[in-house]
Chain A
């Protein structure tokens, strides 16, 4: 008993001695909300040349990396004229104080080696204010002709390490290239890098083509062609340009196709006897299934990422609205509830949003809503905005905008769904109906 008493006494005495200090060091607790949403300032010095003759390549790669990041609207490039110092070699210690002085929060240091036709690019990303590297260094190698892809790869990695989500720079877009006046416009399929570079044509202008849709694997393209005088769905192999007509169910017109996530099924609209419904065709078995049976027009179907549901457009309520049904059909549920006419829904690859076109008050909008129809937000507005397509990371939407008048042309734009940053995608001619392919490997 006495021992217990003494131990308790000592503990209490010790606690009494320490308590005032503990109380005095009790931290001040605050809650901070409402952060600012400013682009992150970053610096990309010209990549270091490790072999003679790679000077141009080093500058070009650094430029493309910077353009990729800046083009998102999430980053702001600090001009090289502001740099206090630049690393001479890839292994040089980073003078963080010099970069802090110009308020660079992220720093990308890279180096280029070119031997013959082979190029190697390596890089590191630094958090300037903590003086630490974000992730580990990485290097890519390939042929000199593929330097843009390597630059996009570097930019994707930098984007991912800073934002926490995958990038979308090393990806391609298939679209309809348009030339000529509106009443005699030639249309053909084309493919390009996400930023408008490396445009190549997939078809000639002998027949009108519409609404190309990349397969989730990026190896095939569905599109609607008027070669026969009626709209028919074709499948085109990107690598060989081989194409064939999709064997759909019997009908007058087949259009608005889209792949399932596994690329094994195609859903589309089929018009028979003046009525348009949604059908599904299994590419392996050739079997068809009618998913809707309504006297109204059902079109523009799009699978959810898990393939379990389909969002589509229907005017069964009197005006075009958005509905969701099971991938096997069944009773649809309307999700759009606002004023105006909704169309061309596309499910985000993340599964969280549905992009759509909305016509309201004589203007067209590209917008997004949750899959239950809530949280609708309109991102754009113009005389004609149409054809939304998601970037592989589900953060950006590309669409086309058509200007007014006889000589009005269609152009591609991209918009960040969170920031609303709008950017025009340069193309050598008019462009419409974009379809964003997957991130390349």
Chain B
């Protein structure tokens, strides 16, 4: 056997031993699996664990209930319930046996405490019928609001409409004594309502906004002149033909950038022009008409009730964003409060809750199934932001 054979044999033997010993055969560690973990607040956790329960079918297992805070309520508050004045407290004489026409027990036992028999359900505390004064009448319906634009004084009714006389009468001459003296005519003019007054309460919602709700699309950029030749000098020539900016430090790169910018602006304008003309464009063109906007707001206002909130909530404006489907239904997952002003976070939360409830409830109000909006202008009302502003009440 040659030396090479010994060397080869020894090497192979060492290799076999190395394999048997298993040196270096540790498998590589498996790659870690990373899972995104979001940190949630205690409120969110509580809502998940016991609070915000999904609308599950009754057969679903009940959601785990978070432990409730526990408060002890003493039967008698601080200071205690007063003892029955059957005996004289200190030096005062004991209470006399009351013999009034209306017998009053010294300590009328609360009837509700009687445990022997379940008391009949007491009728709710009677509400007092509203007194005759209109200012005292209470009504669950919305109350008329102050009308700053209504004339502060009673205005005389307008004169009756002129009736055509069947008989033709001769025209009177100007020289004759007028039927109504000049002073009286002036009085009639005084009784008319001031110019700024009106016979109805005009709210902001009734006045079409002077500013357009959506911006007017820019016109299509005029076509650029076609290059005269296909040579590389053509752009330079075209750029040179156009007025050069005064502050251009050096010409060639900025000219190229200017062309690029022009192209991009042109593309945007073209795309906007295309998007501003939907396939089924309505009569109103690219904007929603004032009547449509008023109608939309009126549909939401029907359900936007703040009759059970605090005065500070009534002074809080919240801006709520949401998306609508083509059927006019609110995508409830898209409803969110963007901003608020005029109150605390707690006030804003309550104001937002009322706004959200209004959006969800009124989309199915009455026989309505989705907000009544022009379907051919869906792109204009797909996404909505509404400022709910009760401060004008």
List residues of chain A with CB under 8 Å of any chain B CB.
Answer: 1, 5, 8-9, 12-13, 15-17, 19-20, 23-40, 55-56, 59-60, 63, 66-67, 70-71, 73-76, 85, 89-97, 103, 105, 122, 124, 127, 129-133, 136-150, 153, 162-165, 172, 177, 179-181, 186, 188, 191, 195-206, 217-219, 237-243, 378-382, 395, 413, 418-426, 428-429, 440-441
Contact A36 B65 (CB under 8 A): no
Measured CB to CB, the nearest residue on chain B to A119 is B73
- B:88-124 near A, CB below 8 Å: 89-90, 92-96, 98, 100-102, 104-108, 110, 112-113, 115, 118-119, 121-122, 124
Specify which of B118, B272, B288, B350 is in contact with A28 (CB 8 Å cutoff): B288
Taken together as a complex, chains A and B put the C-alpha atoms of A243 and B82 apart, in Å, by 12
Contact B138 A60 (CB under 8 A): no
- On whether A164 and B312 interact (CB within 8 A), knowing A105-B357, A139-B69, the answer reads yes
Q: Is B68 at the interface (CB under 8 A from chain A)?
A: yes
Measured CB to CB, the nearest residue on chain A to B360 is A129
Contact B110 A91 (CB under 8 A): no
Nearest Cβ in chain B — how far from A14, in angstroms? 10
Contact B264 A36 (CB under 8 A): no
B151-159, B191-199, B303-311 - interface stretch: B303-311
Contact B204 A31 (CB under 8 A): yes
Q: Is B386 at the interface (CB under 8 A from chain A)?
A: yes
CB-defined contacts of B305 to chain A, threshold 8 Å? 35-38, 40
Taken together as a complex, chains A and B put the C-alpha atoms of A92 and B60 apart, in Å, by 9
Contact B102 A429 (CB under 8 A): yes
Nearest Cβ in chain A — how far from B320, in angstroms? 9
- On whether A39 and B94 interact (CB within 8 A), knowing A20-B271, A28-B381, A243-B89, the answer reads no
- On whether A23 and B272 interact (CB within 8 A), knowing A137-B50, A218-B77, A422-B138, the answer reads yes
Specify which of B46, B94, B309 is in contact with A204 (CB 8 Å cutoff): B94
Which A-B residue pairs are the 3 nearest by beta carbons? A204-B95, A20-B271, A146-B75
- B:237-296 near A, CB below 8 Å: 253, 256-257, 260-261, 263-264, 267-268, 271-272, 274-275, 288, 293, 296
- Given A381-B133, A425-B125, 7 additional A-B pairs, CB 8 A: A25-B382, A75-B308, A90-B65, A179-B102, A218-B77, A240-B89, A382-B131
Nearest Cβ in chain A — how far from B119, in angstroms? 7
* 8 chain-A/chain-B pairs, Cβ below 8 angstroms: A23-B268, A33-B391, A63-B121, A75-B308, A137-B65, A148-B110, A188-B95, A243-B89
Contact A149 B119 (CB under 8 A): no
Contact B128 A59 (CB under 8 A): no
Interface size on B, residues (CB 8 A): 136
List residues of chain B with CB under 8 Å of any chain A CB.
Answer: 43, 46-47, 50-56, 58, 60, 62-66, 68-85, 89-90, 92-96, 98, 100-102, 104-108, 110, 112-113, 115, 118-119, 121-122, 124-128, 130-131, 133, 135-136, 138, 140-143, 145, 203-205, 213-214, 253, 256-257, 260-261, 263-264, 267-268, 271-272, 274-275, 288, 293, 296-297, 300-302, 304-314, 321, 346-347, 350, 353-354, 356-357, 360-361, 379-393
Taken together as a complex, chains A and B put the C-alpha atoms of A65 and B29 apart, in Å, by 63
Specify which of A28, A105, A422 is in contact with B214 (CB 8 Å cutoff): A28
Measured CB to CB, the nearest residue on chain A to B50 is A137
Nearest Cβ in chain A — how far from B120, in angstroms? 11
Specify which of A73, A139, A203, A217 is in contact with B71 (CB 8 Å cutoff): A139
CB-defined contacts of B122 to chain A, threshold 8 Å? 63
CB-defined contacts of B261 to chain A, threshold 8 Å? 12
Contact A423 B125 (CB under 8 A): yes
Contact B128 A29 (CB under 8 A): no
Specify which of B66, B90, B128 is in contact with A413 (CB 8 Å cutoff): B128
Contact A93 B385 (CB under 8 A): no
Contact A204 B128 (CB under 8 A): no
- On whether A138 and B347 interact (CB within 8 A), knowing A30-B293, A32-B205, the answer reads no
Specify which of B95, B213, B307, B389 is in contact with A419 (CB 8 Å cutoff): B307
CB-defined contacts of A138 to chain B, threshold 8 Å? 68-69, 71
Scoring B75, B306, B380 by chain A CB atoms within 10 A of each residue's CB, the highest score goes to: B75
Scoring A9, A32, A70, A163 by chain B CB atoms within 10 A of each residue's CB, the highest score goes to: A32
Contact A33 B312 (CB under 8 A): no
